[in-house]
Amino acid sequence: MWSVTTVNVNGIRAAHRRGGLTWLAEHPTTVLCLQEVRATHEQVHATLADSPLAHWQVAHVPAPELGRAGVAILTEQPPLAARTSVRQPLIDGQGRWVEVDVDSPFGVVTVVSVYVHSGEAETPRQEEKYRFLAGMDARLRTLHRRAQRTGGHVVVCGDLNIAHREVDLKNWRANRASAGFLPQERAWLDTWFERSWVDLGRRLGGPGPGPYTWWSWRGRGFDTDGGWRIDYVLATPGLAAHAQRIEIGRAASYAERWSDHAAVTAYFA
């Protein structure tokens, strides 16, 4: 089956030390989208060279600040095209957006790896998040129009740092005023879904609550499944029609975690 996996690795070098890259290699996928890579090009390639993913092709966009953000897409075969800049000033140059075009059994698929700002309510960080979401909205419009014109497909994968509905986080009542669950953030997801982007995590993951994809390192949130569903696979309708199942790579125990996020894999046939 053709598949795409997305995961916030919480630093690719730290993830590798904890066994994350080995875990990913042992759970095969066609396309692998990474967020919060937190490394230079040289560090990414050196880390991968020391891992079971050494032979994979890499499209990587680092953040301008060392040790922050960064996104990448890995493919076993060279992509048809890779775009590290999409001429959208609100998202370019931040280490938060990268695209590749790949061949698939369904035709050409544009794959996006995106890492949206975490934000912080009523601070400049939240305004920065809203600006990025506006830029993301503009790029999604462009990708959607192009897919309709060419008959291609798009899948947008990543850590959006937004829980869409109450079923997408366990402690929603306590987080109504928190970044990640603010009405203005959630409205962007409403807009995209109304435009026919399909949330495969919800479509294939059941009505909820959950399945969650992020749990804090602190406290007992992981043990009690006090998580958030903030990692998404969004697909254009034609590709979504081929989606068969979604899998959440939740660790068996706290001690076996290699990131504070779980990998999300969507399978298509």
Identify the sign of the CA torsion 97, 197, 248, 214.
Answer: positive
Q: Helix, strand, coil % (nearest 5) of the chain?
A: 30, 25, 45
Give residue 163's identity as a one-letter amino acid code: A
Give residue 168's identity as a one-letter amino acid code: D
Token pair listed for 215: 């749990």
Distance (Å, whole) CA 213 – CA 23: 16
List residues with catalytic annotation.
159
User: 102-136: string of b/e by CB count within 10 Å (b at 16+)?
Assistant: bebebebbbbbbbbbbebeeeeeebeebbebbebb
Q: Which helix (H) or strand (E) holds 31?
A: strand 31-35
Residues whose CB falls within 8 Å of the CB of residue 262, separated by 6 or more in sequence, listed in order: 7, 212, 213, 214, 231, 248, 249, 250, 251
Distance (Å, whole) CA 21 – CA 52: 7
